[in-house]
Amino acid sequence: MDYRKFLLKKAMIPGSLGFLGDLALQLAKFYPRPLDTFSLLLFAGDHGIHGEGVTYSPQEITWQQTRNFASGGGACTLFAKLNGVDLKIIDVGVAGSFDPSTSVIDRKVGFGTKNFLHEQAMTDKECASAIEVGRAMTRSSGADLIGFGEMGVANTTSSSAIVAALLDRKPEEVTDGGSGLSEPDLCHKIEVIRKGLAFHPRRDPLDVLSAFGGFEHAAIVGGILEAYTMKKPILLDGFVVGSAALIAAMIDPNVKQNFIFAHRSGMKGSGILLEALGCTKPILDFGMYLGEGTGALTAWPIVRQASHIL
């Protein structure tokens, strides 16, 4: 179908909707039906690299925030409720357990990853298990559109290491202060990543994932690959989710054709990452860097509206 002619039949001048029209045309190419349901899978996990002092936040925040989300707190829960999104909170690697009475879905692969300055963050077996968690959770979703969120103290350190390794970038090009690090502490964070890159020289995407990633990264990689297999559009969030998307795209470059880029994260290196993923213009550019899938949740109403144009 010539969708531009279809716009004319609807008395819409081609180009008059600007980027919204472009988004509608993009969606129509691989999913020519309206998108009315959106499922966001939020994976939570802890990171062994936290022990190197790369963040001011105590590791317990991961457990606390995950429980908070499941209890209806947090920006992700608010945005999901406002926009009618099916939000699932999944423990894939938090360094603590949750009472079964909570709505946290237990898919734990381990109680946090290891310190990547001394060993792989996760074994190859753990990595494969976390990838399968993401695949299985995605298969269980019946939504038209799939998105991913994350919670994990120190996961920006892991994400920066992944991006630097796969794109052959200097750590300082893709690393910032995250939760408000001072300049000396930011320099320390960059140096930790630099040492990690030297310690783990292999650059195969799965090797990089095992070396530096969190269990939440691996689950998101699996979820993206499964969503592509299911021919579902994938609404990408910010820097952390984007780093997992980069791994998925290097495993199977075809997945990029299903990507919808929710926003340009306020994190340093976001532009480099978006360019590598083939994004010329994300939907939003609000300077957001909260994570939790909040960028994707904010962009969802626009995506839904665009999908109904054609």
Q: Which residues participate in catalysis according to the annotation?
A: 292
Give the distance, in angstroms, between the CA of residue 212 and the centroid of all CA atoms in the same chain: 15
**Spatial strand order in the sheet of 145-151:** 105-106, 86-93, 38-45, 145-151, 234-236, 259-261
Q: Quote the CA–CA distance of 114 and 231 in Å, as a whole number.
A: 34
Dihedral pair phi/psi, residue 154, rounded to 5°: 80, 10
Query: Token pair 């993401």 is at which residue?
Result: 134
Query: Token pair 């001048």 is at which residue?
Result: 13
User: CA distances (Å), 14 to each of 3, 7, 10, 27, 279, in order?
Assistant: 10, 6, 10, 16, 22
Strands (E), the chain: 38-45, 86-93, 105-106, 145-151, 234-236, 259-261
b/e 270-307 (16+ beta carbons within 10 angstroms → b): beebbebbebeebbbeeebbebbbbbbbbbbebbbebb
- CB 295, CB 237: distance < 8 Å: yes
The structure tokens listed for 255 are 């997945």
Q: Quote the CA–CA distance of 32 and 200 in Å, as a whole number.
A: 43
Q: Quote the CA–CA distance of 106 and 104 in Å, as a whole number.
A: 6
